[in-house]
Copies of this chain bind each other. A is one copy, B any other.
Amino acid sequence: MNNLNAFFSPNRIAVIGASSNPSKIGGRRFRTLVEGDFKGEVFPVNPGVGIVQGRPAYKSLDDIPGPIDLAIIAVQAGLVPQTVSACARRHIPAVMIITAGFGEQSDKGRVLEQKMVAELATSGGRLMGPNCAGLYDRASCMNLSGMDVPPGPIGLVSQSGNVVLDMVLHARDVGTGLCRYASVGNSADVCATDVIENLLDDPATKVVVGYIEGWSNGEGRRLYDLVRNHPSRKPIVILKPGRSEEGQQATLSHTGALAGNDRVTNAAFRSAGIWRSDSPGEAVNVAAALVHYPRLSSNRVAVLTDGGGHATLLADALGGAGLSLARLEDSTTQQLVAILPERSATANPIDFAGAAEEQPDIIARTIEICSRAKNVDAVALVGHFGGYHDNGGEEIGQQEIATAKLIVNSRKPEDAPLFLQSIHANRSKPALEHIKCSGINVVRSPMELGQILNALARPLPDHQGQCASKIERQPSVEHGLIRTRGTDRALLEPEAREFLTKNGFTVPDWQVSSDPNQLAEQCAQSSFDNVALKLIQPGLAHRSDAGGVILNVNGTATIVEEAGQLLGREGNDKARDAAVMATEMIAPGIELVFGAMRDVHFGPVAMFGLGGIYAEALNDVAFHLAPLHESAAASLISEIQGASLLFGYRGGPAIDIQAAAHLLIQLGDVLMAYPEVDEIDLNPVILNEHGLAIADARVILSETAGAD
């Protein structure tokens, strides 16, 4: 279904709205297409002029003889629908609308977009856009981007043309570039995930980079499944704003796509092995590194510096990213002492202390030693190499170039990978150009280098591939679910407990009755000793706030009395619907929350965290998309900040990881199996010396399901 080949490998392209004016949108794209020596044929369409940038122009699309593979539409907004109709008539398989002013501006625009998508679909055509910035494929020499694009291994998809321009400048600085690129604009039809699928299949693309502001319907989950199941293990880097409320607002107004729960996005990316980036520069730096370098199997870095500060800043960044300074073996230190002047520090960080600026070649020798040293997984040179000659004079400049050559030429395949940070990285410095050309990354700041090393050290997700849900819908359940008597979307708690029990959860026994005497009898039969009583009534939210809970109730008489109290509280009218639920008191312990929710973009997600009053106040929770593998569920439990509380902290109880993981898997599976369930909240689940016990259960139905 996802065949975007006509977009990236067309033979015949029509550019409708092509112009000779390079300040016009249609002028810029046509200029780069022509100047880029596109291999196929190009047909400018412009009714007003005879010639466009030296090519004879057609008055209309209909005038072009023969089939067209790709149509680029850059006419004014009012003319777009009829142009799309013309494309549909001609059965053009790929149509990109550059023109803006549709779904990103109004509901009317959104409707119009859908009409155009449908019209093209009838003739088998796909639509990219509207509001696109361009298209590029190096293998086809097709540059419809309107800018110069440096060549390189990056396949790029973006919802913003400006961000692409930004990334292209960064790519030039790093010495990398693009092989394929599409701007998907409003994603009315072709969305970023479609392009990512294409890029994963594209043999020229070695790393996928995306700028995604928001998702189209179901796209988030589709990307997650795509990446986890795709046979290609290409690295993927996505710049995804929306970490803050303000960012989400802007996203809403800009692309019309909902920015989802940001922590769910993080969870999805992490378990799919997608690197989430914070800035265009970081995205390009990390992408370039993921192409040029192997993943680091261990995290010990040898840091070389011409002075002190940058090593300290890098060490700081390393620590924040879970990397460490390598401890050099004595033999390594001895080799260093032998070649370095006395003033240099030979412990890691290795500080030339001004000697490198006078005699640059000691850098090359030190790199060689460190790259072959035991305990060293990566070597980083930081400071201002490449620009020593700024202050040291021309002769030093020549020595810098010689040193760069020495560094490059002395490298062996088995050497620990080498990284450079220089404050001159973005300037034209011959020694650095030499280094960059050899595939060694050179970045401007120690923080950027820290990000790169962090990305390379991040373990690959260990559970790629499909993971099946193990829960099947219970056929006994009406509408697939117990019908709720609740007047809101929440099942009453006994209903929730029954639903969970039927689906294999271990829920502590409960009794419920609207008659206090009967309830007391049921409790006696169940050998309940010390009970909690809860008022059960449709529409009664926030039960404990409303005084609907009585704890530590002992003995038949007291149960009768207290249950009567609870029922009386609500007055005669409502009492008809009311009942009281009794459960045995659970010994105190650490309150946890186990839950599952349906994220608008990523679908079913399981959640674990500190519960009770701490759940909301501290927000110490972790997410993983369902269905969950056992090890993913287990690692979720260690992921919360307060995790140390769970493993026998100060003589307290220790969590049974297997049982907890199983509970999380079950919760995720229920949401997979029952689309009408929106959310399940087990809060608190109490961890005490007897294990885990569900003390409260809420099941929330989707808006379209459940209630009578």
| Contact B391 A447, beta carbon cutoff 8 Å | no
Is A46 an interface residue, CB under 8 A from the partner?
no
Q: CA A447 – CA B166 in complex, angstroms? A: 13
How near does chain B come to A35, taking the closest CB pair, in angstroms? Answer: 12
| Contact A163 B396, beta carbon cutoff 8 Å | no
Q: CA A374 – CA B97 in complex, angstroms? A: 37
Whether A393 contacts B22 in the complex (CB less than 8 A), given A324-B246, A650-B613, comes out as yes
Q: CA A243 – CA B146 in complex, angstroms? A: 43
| Contact B423 A307, beta carbon cutoff 8 Å | no
- Return the chain B residue nearest A619 by Cβ: B641
How near does chain B come to A80, taking the closest CB pair, in angstroms? Answer: 11
Within 8 A of B (CB), among A645-692: 645, 649-652
Contact mask A70-99 → B, CB, 8 Å, 1/0? 000000010000000000000000000001
Q: CA A671 – CA B211 in complex, angstroms? A: 53
| Contact B384 A245, beta carbon cutoff 8 Å | no
Q: CA A390 – CA B23 in complex, angstroms? A: 10
Within 8 A of B (CB), among A411-455: 423-424, 426, 445-447
A391 / chain B contacts, CB cutoff of 8 Å: 22, 28, 146-147
- Return the chain B residue nearest A444 by Cβ: B281
| Contact B247 A308, beta carbon cutoff 8 Å | no
Is A537 an interface residue, CB under 8 A from the partner?
no
| Contact A105 B309, beta carbon cutoff 8 Å | no
Is A311 an interface residue, CB under 8 A from the partner?
yes
| Contact A358 B312, beta carbon cutoff 8 Å | no
A162 / chain B contacts, CB cutoff of 8 Å: 305-310, 383-384, 423
Which of A169, A251, A349, A391 gathers the greatest number of chain B CB atoms within 10 Å?
A391
| Contact B345 A246, beta carbon cutoff 8 Å | no
How near does chain B come to A143, taking the closest CB pair, in angstroms? Answer: 11
The interface-forming segment of A227-235, A285-293, A313-321, A593-601 is A313-321
Contact mask A226-263 → B, CB, 8 Å, 1/0? 00000000000000011111111111011100000000
How near does chain B come to A397, taking the closest CB pair, in angstroms? Answer: 10
Whether A165 contacts B384 in the complex (CB less than 8 A), given A105-B345, A246-B325, A447-B279, comes out as yes
Is A342 an interface residue, CB under 8 A from the partner?
yes
Q: How many copies does the complex hold?
A: 2
Whether A310 contacts B166 in the complex (CB less than 8 A), given A246-B324, A316-B241, A351-B254, comes out as yes
Q: CA A304 – CA B164 in complex, angstroms? A: 18
Is A101 an interface residue, CB under 8 A from the partner?
yes
| Contact B649 A253, beta carbon cutoff 8 Å | no
Is A403 an interface residue, CB under 8 A from the partner?
no
A347 / chain B contacts, CB cutoff of 8 Å: 253
Is A201 an interface residue, CB under 8 A from the partner?
no
| Contact B613 A652, beta carbon cutoff 8 Å | yes
Which of A249, A345, A447 gathers the greatest number of chain B CB atoms within 10 Å?
A249
How near does chain B come to A498, taking the closest CB pair, in angstroms? Answer: 27
Is A604 an interface residue, CB under 8 A from the partner?
no
A165 / chain B contacts, CB cutoff of 8 Å: 384, 423
Which of A250, A354, A642, A644 gathers the greatest number of chain B CB atoms within 10 Å?
A250
Q: CA A191 – CA B21 in complex, angstroms? A: 61
Q: CA A682 – CA B104 in complex, angstroms? A: 56
| Contact B281 A649, beta carbon cutoff 8 Å | no
A166 / chain B contacts, CB cutoff of 8 Å: 309-310, 384, 423
A146 / chain B contacts, CB cutoff of 8 Å: 391
| Contact B323 A246, beta carbon cutoff 8 Å | yes
| Contact B28 A392, beta carbon cutoff 8 Å | yes
| Contact A309 B613, beta carbon cutoff 8 Å | no
A99 / chain B contacts, CB cutoff of 8 Å: 343
Contact mask A97-113 → B, CB, 8 Å, 1/0? 00111001100000000
How near does chain B come to A316, taking the closest CB pair, in angstroms? Answer: 3
Is A213 an interface residue, CB under 8 A from the partner?
yes
Contact of A645 among B22, B317, B613 (CB under 8 A): B613
The interface-forming segment of A153-161, A215-223, A560-568 is A153-161
A644 / chain B contacts, CB cutoff of 8 Å: 616-617
| Contact A311 B254, beta carbon cutoff 8 Å | yes
| Contact A353 B308, beta carbon cutoff 8 Å | no
| Contact B423 A169, beta carbon cutoff 8 Å | yes
A445 / chain B contacts, CB cutoff of 8 Å: 279-281
A308 / chain B contacts, CB cutoff of 8 Å: 104, 159-160, 162, 213, 254-255
| Contact A104 B392, beta carbon cutoff 8 Å | no
A253 / chain B contacts, CB cutoff of 8 Å: 345, 347, 349
Is A330 an interface residue, CB under 8 A from the partner?
no
Q: CA A369 – CA B507 in complex, angstroms? A: 63
Is A544 an interface residue, CB under 8 A from the partner?
yes
| Contact A101 B342, beta carbon cutoff 8 Å | yes
Known A162-B310, A166-B309, A241-B315; further 19 A-B contacts with Cβ < 8 A = A23-B357, A99-B343, A104-B345, A158-B309, A159-B308, A161-B307, A162-B383, A169-B424, A243-B319, A246-B315, A250-B312, A253-B347, A254-B312, A254-B345, A254-B351, A279-B447, A281-B445, A613-B649, A618-B618
13 residue pairs from A and B, CB less than 8 Å apart: A22-B393, A23-B392, A161-B307, A241-B312, A241-B316, A243-B320, A254-B308, A254-B312, A279-B447, A281-B445, A426-B426, A617-B644, A617-B645
User: Which 5 residue pairs spanning A and B have beta carbons closest together?
Assistant: A246-B319, A160-B309, A244-B319, A247-B316, A162-B307
